Structure 1
Amino acid sequence: MELPPDLYFNRELSWLRFNTRVLDQVCDGGLPLLERLKFLAIYGTNLDEFYMIRVAGLKHLYDHSVVQEGLQMGHGKQLECIRSYLVAEQKIVQEQFLQLKEKLAQQHLAIQSVEELSTKNTEKLRAYFDNYLYPVVVPIILDPARPFPFLSNLSFGLILGLQHLNYAHKAYGIIKIPALLKRFIPVEKGVFVPVEQVVKQFAPLLFEKHSVLESMVFRVTCDADMEIIEDEGHDLAELISEGLRTRDRGDVVRLEVSEGNADLLEFIEHKMFGVTKDIYKSDILLNLGSLWELVNLRGYDALKSPTFYPKILAPLNGMDLLTDNAAIFELLDKQDVFLFHPYESFDPIVHFIENASRDKDVVAIRMTLYRVGKQSPIVKALTEAAHTKQISVLVELKARFDEENNLHWAQALENAGAHVIYGVPRLKVHAKLAIVVRQVGAQLKEYVHLSTGNYNTASAKVYTDLSLLTSNKQIAYDILKLFHSLSTGVAAEIGLKTLYMAPMQIKPKIMAMIAEEMRFKQRGRIIFKANALVDPTIIKCLYEASCAGVKIDLIIRGICCLRPQIKGLSENIRVFSIVGKYLEHARIYYFAHDRAKVYFSSADMMPRNLEKRVELLVPATSKAIQQKLMRILHIQLKDNVKAYELNPDGSYSKMPSVGESFNAQAFYEQEVEEHV
């Protein structure tokens, strides 16, 4: 039986509430100033992506009058709610930015307007403009011979009202500011001016024979989702390449403008072809994501949170992982290794691949790559090994916003001699895995790495993730079977024996384990830790378990469509979210009466993960790993500093600080420091 739509929170509004929790970190006066500014930058970049993908998709469905069954609200109503929510929240954003700007200036990190500068510094800006801006900005007067230019996604610049010195009629001009330019121009130590103010100050030099009457800063966001229509007659790499060429040419879905002349606003509204409902006027800087430039400045460590350096703990500490290629394999012959990043370093995983690429006894390496970053020691090791070993790599070309980077790495690997699989038709491969085949005496032996996170050394320092290194024969067999299914194109149709693989196995397995807990009624216990809970079937199963008396705790960082604490439906379910220094990215699923009890996974409880991706669900392989996973869950459930609880109305409340304050992320930092 289908449940009424109002028993599920709207996905988009739930996401907005997650970004509000990010904004709440900006408001936290207990955090260092640049830490708060960092969260403001994250808030801005999150919102950009939300508009490029989610709002763009809603607008497309609304414009084409697409009707979807079972929705709590129509697409038009969702768009209205999003606008109302963001307009109200924008006041908080602006207040917080202005407060931070004032406090940072007191700490000798000032964002100033041109008008605030001394004559000497204004002259410096003129020299900067002449040397670095004048050669690259493009001024355009808009007239029948020069129509309004194409604005690509995230275009940023000035719209101007102009008056020709010899004619009476008014004209309009535009200056596009290239993304390659610095956003904040240094004029002296600790004093910066936004680049758009510099361009505005010297705009008369760009429009000779004109006077500048008024100007307004603008920024556009476009539909950036690539529609890849896959069929057997097209090469996936070519389809992705074509999609990348057209991505920045999507329809405008948001226009941001600075406060300014009403005539200019009316003019640019008209040129934006009907996005007037998605215009946001701002009293502060546009493009909050550019604040990363200031967050990353050197010399301001006192304004940042103390840097934590990931540690290598037992049994890996003391091992020569850099030069002894065989050491890691000899260790895995004796025991599994389970790591909790970023508290425990990701370096052993990098060394695992590097050592395998150098070890003369290794005959083959197979991996999946989803997001590896621009500078990847892992890809470097694979390319260097490709001429002596069998290297097989699936590079997921459909990883959103990493398509271009992944296409580059796929081609580099192929050029080096590796066998490259360019994704799988109609599925994304989101499972994170590597398998090394090594000659040990007269036999071949396999060594496996499985993870909740990507092979990205940068994100591994700021995302919480889990890694398993093992030589377990059953797991190795499953991974080989999985990889063969990727090579032969049948991944959507197979199942594994020891592990569980989407799209065929994970959802039925989760549902079966929920049903098993229901048999134990009040003695039943379920804990989920995930990024998102959206799948309506899983949510319905959790509601049924709650009605049976099962106690359920859900640690869901982002979107949660389940409505907790509803009498007669979900009164036994509590939902928490932790938003802190690190991005909570690990997925853990605990069922008290299951044989394995606890699993980690690359999959969230979303239809796309469970039905449209290749994912893995991995049972704890030993008592020690089981206890480590369960302890992570219990430590996070104790958090009353960075944790929020979801209320029945969809809002979130900070956890009450009853007794001693407990920050789960800080606890793990301290514990790891003590165990080095």
Structure 2
Amino acid sequence: MALEDRYTNRELSWLSFNRRVLAESENARYPLLERLRFLSISGSNLDEFTMVRIAGLEGQVHRGIETPGIDGLSPRQQLDAIREQVLQLEHRQQDSLDELRGLLADEGILIALVEQLDKQQQDWLEDYFTTDILPLITPQAIDPSHPFPFVASGGMGVLFRLKRGRRKGELVEMVLIPSGAPRFVRVPGEKAIYVAIEQLVTRFASQLFPGFKILGDGIFRVLRDSDIEVEDEAEDLVRYFRTAIQRRRRGRAVLLELDDECDASAEALLREQFDVDAAMIVKTGGMLGLSDLSAICNEPRPDLKFTPFSPRYPERVLAHDGDVFTAIREKDMVIHHPYESFEVVVDFLHQAAVDPQVVSIKQTLYRAGDQSPVIAALVEAAQNGKAVTAVVELKARFDEERNIRWANELERAGVQVIYGFTEWKTHAKVSLVVRREEDGYRTYCHFGTGNYHPVNARIYTDLSYFTADAALGRDAAKMFNFITGYIEPDALEKIAISPIGLREKLYELIDVEIANARAGKPSGIWVKLNSITNQAMIDKLYEASKAGVEIRMVVRGICSLRPGIPGLSENISVKSIIGRFLEHGRMWTFANGKALPSRQAKVFITSADAMSRNLDRRVEVLVPVTNKTVHDQMLGQVMLANILDTEQSWRLGPDGQYLRMRKGDGGFNCHEYFMSNPSLSGRGSALQRHEVPRLTLSGAKR
């Protein structure tokens, strides 16, 4: 079997994922501003893909690297296939915007051109341009004494071709759109009218160039190579990343977007100056920089948005007067974000910070956001005399600068800041709190599938596992010692850590299912991930399928595995869920000799996807869930609801293509189920008053 029939290229699979995101902007069942938000997300996703993945492949081609991908395609062949699909995706995004513009206009929200407005509105915009925009912008002549100015990645500008008087030659001027200015200006009035700032610059350019005749103009936008490669010999990671961030801002241009009506001379100059491969020059009659549409989504029109949802605070914690430690000590619990509040995680750390019985706190930080209550809790703990250690990952892409800032603030407060390994990212999400109690020291742990980021926690579906299990505490302490002191753990009791054993643990669990299937015993694997691209892991699942193990996979994003191929993967099914919330939780479930779902099954949560970077180049954790209530919640509620979903799901075929599952009678929406029903472990005694609908493979029942 040819490699391309056995595996799907990761880049092409990612583009397929972004097409599914874009399809939500075309979903007539969604409110209009939510559809516009999905279009914005699709644009933002494609920008990052271009700046990192396409730039990386171009770099390989320039260096003469011909190492093939999982499907056998060389970097150059991948680029050819990607560029074609990127152009198709760009055109489809503009089609979606055209449709949404018309529908939003019917609802009183207009994304307008200046000439579409009446004289009074145009006069107001001209005054706004004079008072608020003109002071921010600086025209720059382009000639031998004024070299072509630098344009940052994501930067947008306008080139003007000018002439002054009959005898004088033409002049080219550039106006860069200031990054601090709002992309869209809202015209005052009851009707929501938004005008893009670049439209104002072109419309009122005469104020910039008095006495000149404007012969032509052209709006453009550029994306640059934004990946940062860490050198193994880097002696000071903070200093290295400060320099690398500056280099990234000046990275090689990889995409040039042009207005369809761009002046020919301006276009020729832009093509020459940016030296972008011709295949990555996109001309559009629509709008550049679609990610900025997110600003319009903030228009206060609740009738055009999803019904507001407020996360629940676990009643089991409230039953203990909000004391998180007492609730955890009583029994393990899983908090299912965003349906349950991230405030539980914040309260866990804040209570640790002010509790006189807490001796030490250890915390990993991958992404924490701008206004981070987690950072504030760690600072407060250090100021209160706790021994606080924070593992801050500087290599978190596009969060490097923010994480350097947090690291400095933590160090000033007296926190011991560790940057982890030079060659590996610390991606595990773990908090460890040691507390002095009547019967000795007790360790409380939080293991998460998502970042300690309060904003993301309202959008991403993630799992927070709280436990006072002594063995898990000892294992977590060894993991921190591994990161801070390079002390490789030699006898972990329960958890597995990558890159020193997590892969092997998964292989061991899969092998048990293979042996059971061959022995005629019940077998099965249910897995929920964001991505799977590692060839060896895919081959292991193919081996299980060929042995007769039924494998159900929920993979939101990239999937290089091809399900349903006779003789290879006919026992594997794969689906992707795209909806109101971003699926981000990761878990593995193994039948362990009894048909799934059952109490005998082995259930694990993990911070790792099935990608080479997670298994081989990151510190990750795989954590078993054994508490009965939490086990039931993870398997019979979270995992099963994802498997049962039909209304937000896309089925992956053997050809690597996705088809939306049809909504039929009795269709099931897992997000609505989770919003409507509390989790099992968070309810405590309240379960006796409100029974959560139990799920079976045939559907929900009381």
TM-score, normalised on structure 2? 0.92
Match of 1:467 in 2: 464
Given that 1:596 and 1:620 are in contact with CA atoms closer than 8 Å, whether structure 2 keeps it comes out as: no
Relative to structure 1, the CA distance from residue 450 to residue 208 in structure 2 (aligned partners, 3 Å threshold; closer, same or farther) is same
> Would the aligned equivalents of 2:394 and 2:404 in 1 still touch at CA under 8 Å?
yes
- Work out the number of aligned pairs and report it: 667
How far apart are residue 598 of structure 1 and its match?
Answer: 1.1
Aligned 8 A contact 2:366 2:427 in 1? yes
Q: Which residue does 2:618 correspond to in 1? A: 613
Aligned to 2:440: 443
Q: Indicate if the aligned counterparts of 2:68 and 2:75 stay in contact, CA closer than 8 A.
A: no
Q: Equivalent residue of 1:512, what SS? A: helix
Paired residues of 2:255 and 2:276 also in contact (CA < 8 A) = no
Partner residue, 2:665 = 659
Q: What's the CA shift for 1:442?
A: 6.2
Query: Pairwise mapping of residues 569-580 of structure 1 onto structure 2 (< 5 A)?
Result: 569-580=568-579
Structure 1 unmatched runs, 5+: 322-326
1:249 aligns with 2:250: yes
Cα distance, 1:204–1:361 mapped onto 2, change above 3 Å: same
Instruction: Tell me by how many angstroms 1:624 deviates.
Output: 1.6
C-alpha separation between the residues in 1 aligned to 2:69 and 2:378?
47
Shift of the 590–270 alpha-carbon distance from structure 1 to 2, 3 Å rule, reads same
- Tell me the distance in 2 between the aligned counterparts of 1:613 and 1:225: 17
* Higher deviation after alignment, 493-502 or 401-410: 493-502
Distance verdict in 2 for CA 1:70–1:366, change over 3 Å: closer
Q: Deviations over 1:413-461 (max 9, x none)?
A: 0001111102322111000011111111362211111110111111111
Aligned to 1:438, the other structure's residue is in SS state: strand
Q: Is the contact made by 2:428 and 2:621 (CA closer than 8 Å) also made in structure 1? A: yes
Alpha-carbon contact 1:5-1:70 (below 8 Å) kept: no
1:324 corresponds to: none
Alpha-carbon distance between aligned partners in 2 of 1:70 and 1:645, rounded to the nearest angstrom: 24
Alpha-carbon displacement from aligned partner over 1:73-97 (angstroms, at most 9, x marks no partner) = 1111211111111222333212210
Q: Closer, same or farther in 2 for the Cα pair 1:70/1:494, shift >3 Å?
A: farther
The partner residue of 1:425 within 411, 422, 425 is 422
CA distance in 2, matches of 1:240, 1:497: 36
Specify the code of the residue in structure 1 equivalent to 2:329.
D
Secondary structure of the equivalent of 1:340?
strand
The alpha carbon displacement at 1:494 in A equals 5.4
Q: How does 1:368-387 map to 2 (within 5 A)?
A: 368-387=364-383
Equivalent residue in structure 1 for 2:656, among 647, 650, 659: 650
1:237 equivalent in structure 2:
238
Instruction: Name 2:173's counterpart in structure 1.
Output: 173
Deviations 1:45-67, CA, capped at 9 Å, x for gaps: 00010011000000000111102
Question: Is residue 423–residue 617 contact of structure 2 (8 Å, CA) maintained in 1?
Answer: yes
Contact 1:252 1:275 in 2 (8 A): no
Shift of 1:70: 5.9
Checking the alignment, whether the CA contact within 8 Å between 1:640 and 1:656 is kept in structure 2 is: yes
Shift of 1:332: 2.2
Q: Name the residue aligned to 1:356.
A: 352
Quote the offset at 1:3 in angstroms: 8.1
- Counterpart residue type for residue 340 of structure 1: H
* DSSP-derived class of the 2:620 partner: strand
Find the partner of 1:671 among 653, 677, 682. Answer: 677
| Aligned partner letter, 2:653 | N
Shift of 1:664: 0.7
Instruction: Note if contact 1:3-1:540 (Cα within 8 Å) is conserved in structure 2.
Output: no
121-130 vs 13-22, greater mean Cα deviation: 121-130
Counterpart of 1:309, as a letter, is: S
TM-superposed CA distance for 1:153, in Å, is 0.8
1:346 aligns with 2:352: no
Map 1:487-636 onto structure 2 (within 5 A).
Answer: 487-490=484-487, 496-521=492-517, 523-593=522-592, 597-631=602-636, 632-636=638-642
Which residue does the alignment assign to 2:682?
Answer: none
Q: Does 1:31 align with 2:30?
A: yes
Preserved contact between residue 578 and residue 644 of structure 1 (Cα < 8 Å):
yes
> Residue 66 of structure 1 aligns with which residue?
65
Q: CA deviation at 1:166?
A: 4.7
CA contact (8 A) 1:432 1:454 kept: yes
Check the 8 A contact 1:494/1:504 in 2, yes or no.
no
Q: Which runs of 4+ in 1 moved over 4 A?
A: 673-676
Q: CA offsets, 1:444-499, max 9 Å, x none?
A: 211111110111111111111111111110000011111112111345x7562210
Q: CA deviation at 1:331?
A: 2.4
Q: Quick one: structure 1 residues 106 and 77, their matched pair in 2 at CA, closer, same or farther if it must change by over 3 Å?
A: same
Q: Structure 1 residue 199 and structure 2 residue 201: aligned?
A: yes
SS of residue matched to 1:191: strand
CA contact 2:51–2:223 (8 Å) conserved in 1: yes
**Residue 136 of structure 2: SS of its match in structure 1?**
coil
CA contact (8 A) 2:496 2:621 kept: yes
| Aligned equivalents of 1:214, 1:305: Cα separation in 2 | 43
- Counterpart of 1:145 in structure 2 is 145
Secondary structure of 1:520 counterpart = helix
Q: What value does the CA root-mean-square deviation take over the aligned residues?
A: 1.8
CA contact (8 A) 2:9 2:69 kept: no
Quote the sequence identity (%): 36
Amino acid at match of 2:115: E
How far apart, CA to CA, are the structure 1 residues paired with 2:601 and 2:525?
13
